[in-house]
Chain A
Amino acid sequence: MKNFKLIIALVVFTSIVSCNNKRTPQVQYMPDMYESVPYNPNGADGINNAPVNLKPVAGTIARGGHPAYDIADTNEGYELAKTTLTNPLEATEENLANGKKMYDIYCATCHGTKGDGNGVLSQREKFSGIPNYKDRDINAGTIYHVIMHGKNLMGSHASQITYKERWQIVQYVEKLRTDLAK
């Protein structure tokens, strides 16, 4: 009597254990409501095994977007940005607050929360030689230019932040720089 139960309990136990495979997804009820039937042109396989739409169509602007940044990633471009670009946003508290928020996400890991080049990655010696903002001759134009194109080891951060957020960051970096220079 007892042993029969034991056998059943063991069978149940082993079946539960063996079903629990973390590497495969669970069975789905009516899977066509989970995964769309049409092929996915944005997927890795794309159309005819070639991914499509990896980049926006050349010469187009997204709704509510801004014209592409057309200053080239050269020394001349850097100088051009320095002399011609200005921040289109007003210097408001709101912009500054969001600039700080974005700076802490996208910049502070290397440049440090104060802009002294002593972020976590610098402390852990993953990146070294990150400059202190006050040691560099930068203005709004060059900061924006460097966010768009990167400089030396810094890569372009254009894909991660929007037009507005970039200029908000510019405002915040300028504030950090004046704070550091004090």
Chain B
Amino acid sequence: MKSVKLHSRLTKTLRISLTVLLFFAFSVSSFSQEIDEARQKEGKKLFKSLCASCHKLDKKLIGPALAGIEERRENDWLKAWIKNNAELRASGDADAIAIFEEYNGSNMTAFPQLSDKNIDDILYYTTVGELKKKEVVADNATGGSVSKASAPEWLIYILAAAIVVAFLMIASLLKQVSELKGNTKIESQSNLKRDLHELWQGVKQNTFLKVLSTIFLLLIGAYIVFGTLFKVGVDEGYQPIQPIAFSHKIHAGDNKIDCQYCHSSAKHSKHSGIPSVNVCMNCHKNISEVAEETVVDMGDGYVLGKEELDKEIAKIYKAAGWDADNLEYTGETKPVKWVRVHNLPDFVYFNHSQHVTVQGLKCQKCHGPVEEMEELYQHSPLTMGWCIDCHRETKVDLKGNEYYAKVHEQLAKKYGVEKVTAAQLGGMECGKCHY
């Protein structure tokens, strides 16, 4: 009996000591996970400047993903490889040759300038990875987008309220008319049809009112007819829904990519073409997802966040036939059916190179503030009057055009000006654009 008691006491103390030990071990191990921020920062800096063009931590790029590389390879081997991988391969190291073959024999740059400490810092960064950021930024971003989206709704409510008020005013006026006519309130709710009839009778009997209202009606009619006619074929403000939600603001505005980087045919040809997807892939081979806080506000309360935008990038991959997991082209391409926004009729000749390269106009002159557009729209009316207005004002730069020097001199003398405008140079002759 006593022995049993002793036994149970023994196990109890053992258990307690074990838990205490475990607790200690746990706290010690969690302590060791503390990150040396200075080292991580140093390693990150080196990694970003030297390695990141071919390696990512979590994904295969040109070379393998490097997160946790220290667990997979010996430290000495890594140092030898990083300093001069060609030498290591030449020495007949089987691992080195194997990895070189696996990545289709793409040469990794040698980094003899890195010291052992540098390499250790880089490896430390690959092991600990990114420091966790505070999640305040993301919250702010979503809050901002919500308030942005609600702005146009306000306007709609105000308009709706105004319309309701207007209708109430009409109703009260109608009531007053019927009362003035001597109709005592027989029915409390006024009959619109009957009131209109009374109004009609009233106008018919008064010649002045008759003439006035006829003129008024004619004016309104003319306004509507001409307003509609002048809109025929003029697509100012046209903003079609595109197959990919491409934001010019992010590309040309925030990232300052030149217009001609993508629309490269503007400088030599009649058309400023839509870039083929290989141009998209020049960057998007690397950028498969947008930054965490990216938000595209398409208007009408339609806001795209990271999740939607990543799907938009995946559409490019589909068009280009790019397998984002294995990082290779499958060969199954599919053109993107962009919707054309700026469209001159076929009976007008317009040449981009003449305006962009020869005259040196900024694209924004005609296309408006594209770098601020989340979704592209037509900024200018593209009517003939609009073309001619600009031709009348724009002075032509005649420098370095000796062949026509004499003609230009004569023209300048004829018009009595120092610099001729595009119109004086023939930019208003019918045959220049219509033939």
Contact = CB atoms under 8 A, between A and B. Distances in A.
A41 interface: no
B350 interface: no
Given A27-B232, A109-B255, A128-B53, A162 B268 contact: yes
Contact of A26 (B234, B256, B283): B234
Nearest to B63: A152
A35 B254 CA distance: 36
B50 interface: yes
A2 B199 CA distance: 10
Contacts of A4: 196, 199, 203, 213
A152 B258 contact: no
A7 interface: yes
Interface in A22-61: 22-29, 33-36, 44, 51, 54
Contact of A155 (B54, B260, B278): B278
Given A6-B166, A26-B235, A33-B345, A129 B278 contact: no
Interface in B88-141: 105-107
Nearest to B232: A29
Contacts of B317: none
A19, A152, A159, A162: most-surrounded residue (chain B CB, <10 A): A152
B146 interface: no
Interface in B139-188: 163, 166, 169-170, 173-174, 177
Contact of B49 (A28, A75, A129): A129
A120 to B, nearest CB: 5
Given A8-B217, A33-B345, A155-B281, A126 B50 contact: no
Contacts, number: 148
Contact of A152 (B53, B177, B241, B337): B53
Contacts of A129: 48-54
B224 interface: yes
A27 B234 CA distance: 8
Nearest to A45: B337
Interface string B265-286: 0001000000010110111011
Given A23-B239, A33-B345, A156-B278, A75 B105 contact: yes
B53 A153 contact: yes
A181 interface: no
Contact of A121 (B166, B231, B255): B255
Contacts of B285: 153, 155
Contacts of A91: none
Contact of B260 (A5, A105, A153): A105
Contacts of A25: 235, 238, 240, 343
Given A4-B213, A7-B170, A130-B53, A106 B261 contact: yes
Given A12-B224, A33-B346, A34-B346, A51 B335 contact: yes
Contacts of A35: 346
A155 B241 CA distance: 29
B237 A22 contact: yes
A131 to B, nearest CB: 7
Contacts of B335: 44, 51, 54
A63 interface: no
Contact of B261 (A109, A124, A128): A109
Nearest to B176: A3
A28 B105 CA distance: 58
A114 to B, nearest CB: 16
Contact of B282 (A15, A44, A105, A155): A155
Contact of B279 (A8, A12, A121, A159): A159
B352 to A, nearest CB: 15
B264 A153 contact: no
A124 B255 contact: yes
B49 A128 contact: yes
A177 B81 CA distance: 28
Q: Which 9 pairs between the two chains have the least Cβ-Cβ distance? A: A129-B53, A155-B282, A128-B52, A129-B52, A160-B264, A128-B48, A105-B258, A22-B239, A34-B345
Interface of B: 48-54, 61-62, 105-107, 163, 166, 169-170, 173-174, 177, 196, 199, 202-203, 209, 213, 216-217, 220, 223-224, 227-228, 231-235, 237-241, 254-258, 260-261, 264, 268, 276, 278-279, 281-283, 285-287, 335, 337, 343, 345-347, 377
21 contacts: A1-B203, A3-B174, A12-B224, A22-B237, A22-B377, A26-B232, A26-B238, A27-B231, A33-B345, A44-B337, A54-B335, A124-B254, A126-B255, A127-B53, A128-B48, A152-B53, A153-B62, A155-B278, A155-B281, A159-B279, A161-B264
Given A6-B173, A28-B345, 8 more contacts: A6-B169, A25-B240, A26-B232, A33-B347, A127-B283, A155-B278, A156-B278, A159-B264
